[in-house]
Amino acid sequence: MVVLVRQDADPSAPLGMQRRAFWVRRARTPAFAGFHAFPGGKVDREDEQIPVPGLPADQARLHVAAVREAFEETGVLLARLPAGADVSGLRSRMLAQELSFAQVLQESGASLDAAMLQPISRWVTPTFAPLRFDARFFLARLPEGQQAQVWQGELERGEWIAPDEALRCWEAGEALLHPPALHVLETLMRVPDEALLERLSDPPHVVDFVARRIEFQRGIHLVPLLSPTLPPARHTACYLIGDRELLVVDPGSPHPEEQERLHDLVRDLVAEGRRVRAIVLTHTHPDHVGGALAARQALAAPVWAHPKAAARFPGVDRALRDGELLELAGDFPMTLKVLHTPGHASDHLCLFEPRSRALVCGDMLSGASTIVIDPPDGDMEAYLGSLQRLSDLQVRSLYPAHGEVMPDGPQRITEAIAHRRWREEKLLRVLAAGPTTLEELTARTYDDAPQAVLPLARRSALASLDWLERRGRVVREGGRFKLA
C-alpha cells in the first residue's frame, strides 16, 4: 500500500491541514468493499523480475509492486522521469494489457529509485477474515509535475484530503477505515516530519503485525469471536459500542480462551477510563449468547435483551423495547435506537445510531451468506417487513454478526429484499409444474446452491411456503405442496 502525500502551501497551518494524503474508496471487490484506503495491491510474478538499484530481491519485489499498483490506480509513477515525460497514455495501454510494467518503464525512460518510497509498516489481516493479506505500507511524496487521478474500476473514487478532514469523516461514519489507514491518518495529523517515519512504523495495539483493536468508525469496535455458527462463517462479531460508556453486543463464543480475549480487551479499555454499561443481545441463538453469562460475571455488567429473550435465556436483567433510546456518555457521546426486527428470530433486535446511520444488525443481514429463516420462530413475512423498515431508515453502514462490514447499507438491504422475492418467484415456477414435496421443491428452487446447504435452504423454503399459504397462493396436501 502506498501512502501518497503532498504538502499544503501554507506552513503556518496545523499539521492536520498542511498535509494532504490521497485516499481511495474501494468498489464492490472481494476484499474491503466500500472502505476508504490507500492505493495498493498484490505482488505480481513480473515484479520479481524488475531490479531496484540498492535493494535486495526480496525488498525490490515489494518496492516494484507498490510503484506499479500506485501507477495503475492513480496514474502517479514513483520513479525518476525525464523532463516533460507524459505517462498517461502508457497507463491506459498497461491497464488494457497492451504493455507490461517493465515496458512502461522502458518506454517512459523511467528509473526506479529506492529513496522515493519509505517502508513504514507491515500489517497482517486477522484470522477471522475470509481473505488474509500480509501488507507492506510505504510513504511516498507526490513527484513534482505529476497528478493523481482514479479511473473507475476496482476503485470508485479517489481524492486528496487533509488528515483532520479524513478523520472527521471517520468519526461521522462517512468513511470506514481499517486499522492501518486509521493509524496513518492519525499520525499524519499529529506528528511532525522529524518523527513521522518512526511513529508510522510503530503502530499501537498491534501484536505480530495483527491489530488488536478494530474501530471501523469511531465508537464501534469489532471483536470477532470463534463460535459454533453456521458455515461458511466461523466467527460471531462482538461489537463494543460507545466512548466512555460501552455496550458489549453479542459476546457469543462459548470457548473460554475466546471469552478471555474479549474480557482482556474490555479491561484494557476500562483501564483507559471507560466503563461497561451493559451487555446487549441481538437475539438468543446459541452463537450470540454463548459467552453472555461469562461476560456478565467477568465484567460485572447487566444483560439487556428483547422481552421475549428473558423467557429463553437466563440472566437477562432488563428488557429493551422497540424505539427505546440508549444514551452513551463520553467525549464522543452516542445515542442508539433499539429496533425490534423479527423474522430471523422473534426476539431479534438491531441497534441504530442515527447520527452516522450505522446499524449493528445481528443476523438481519450477513456479509458472508444468506440469512436462514427457520420456522416456527423464523417468519419470512416478518423478516421482509423488518428489512423494509431498515430500508426506510436509509441505513449507511451495516455491522453484521457474520461476514464483512458493509458500508453500502441501502444497496445491500435492497439486494436482500430482491433476492428473497426472486427466490419466492422461482419457488412458484417450480410449483407450477405440479405438486411436490418440500425436499424436491428445495432441490429445484435452490439448484444454484451447494448440496451441503440444502438442509438449511429447506428451512427458508418452508418459511416462504408458510407465507404463501397465509396469502392463499399455496396449499398443502399431506406431505406435498401445490398452487392454490
Q: Which residues pair with 135 in a beta bridge?
A: 123
Let me know: does 428 contact 473? Beta carbons within 8 Å: yes
Let me know: does 277 contact 328? Beta carbons within 8 Å: yes
Cell of 387: 428489512
Angle value at C-alpha 295, between 271 and 351, nearest 5 degrees: 90
Q: What is the number of residues in the chain?
A: 484
Cα 195 to chain centroid distance, Å, stands at 31
For residue 47, what pLDDT is reported? 95
CA distance linking residue 174 with residue 196, whole number of Å: 26
Cell of 480: 406435498
Q: pLDDT 10s per residue in the chain (484 long)?
A: 999 999 876 777 777 678 999 999 988 766 678 899 999 999 999 999 999 999 999 999 999 999 999 999 999 999 999 987 888 899 999 999 999 999 999 999 999 999 999 999 999 988 777 678 899 999 999 999 899 999 988 899 999 999 999 999 999 999 999 999 999 999 999 999 999 999 999 999 999 999 999 999 999 999 999 999 887 878 999 999 999 999 999 999 999 999 999 999 999 999 999 999 999 999 999 999 999 999 999 999 999 999 999 889 988 999 999 999 999 999 999 999 999 999 999 999 999 999 999 999 999 999 888 999 999 999 999 999 999 999 999 999 999 999 999 999 999 999 999 999 999 999 999 999 999 999 999 999 999 999 989 999 999 999 999 999 999 999 999 889 999 9
For residue 334, what pLDDT is reported? 97
CA distance linking residue 8 with residue 162, whole number of Å: 9
Let me know: does 445 contact 430? Beta carbons within 8 Å: yes
Neighbours of 58 (CB within 10 A): 8
CA distance linking residue 450 with residue 195, whole number of Å: 54
For residue 154, what pLDDT is reported? 83
Let me know: does 346 contact 375? Beta carbons within 8 Å: no
Neighbours of 147 (CB within 10 A): 11
The sheet carrying 474-477 orders its strands as: 436-437, 480-483, 474-477
CA distance linking residue 482 with residue 301, whole number of Å: 52
For residue 31, what pLDDT is reported? 67
Q: What secondary structure, in 3-state letters, does the chain show?
A: CEEEEEECCCCCCCHHHHEEEEEEEECCCCCCCCCEECCCCCCCHHHHHCCCCCCCHHHHHHHHHHHHHHHHHHCCCCCECCCCCCCHHHHHHHHCCCCCHHHHHHHHCCECCHHHCEEEEEEECCCCCCCCCEEEEEEEECCCCCCCCCCCCCEEEEEEECHHHHHHHHHCCCCCECHHHHHHHHHHHHCCHHHHHHHHCCCCCEECCEECCCEEECCEEEEEEECCCCCCCCEEEEEEECCCEEEEECCCCCCHHHHHHHHHHHHHHHHCCCEEEEEECCCCCHHHHCCHHHHHHHCCCCEEECHHHHCCCCCCCEECCCCCEEEECCCCCEEEEEEECCCCCCCCEEEEECCCCEEEEECCCCECCCCCCCCCCCCHHHHHHHHHHHHHCCCCEEEECCECCECCHHHHHHHHHHHHHHHHHHHHHHHCCCCEEHHHHHHHHCCCCCHHHHHHHHHHHHHHHHHHHHCCCEEEECCEEEEC
For residue 18, what pLDDT is reported? 82
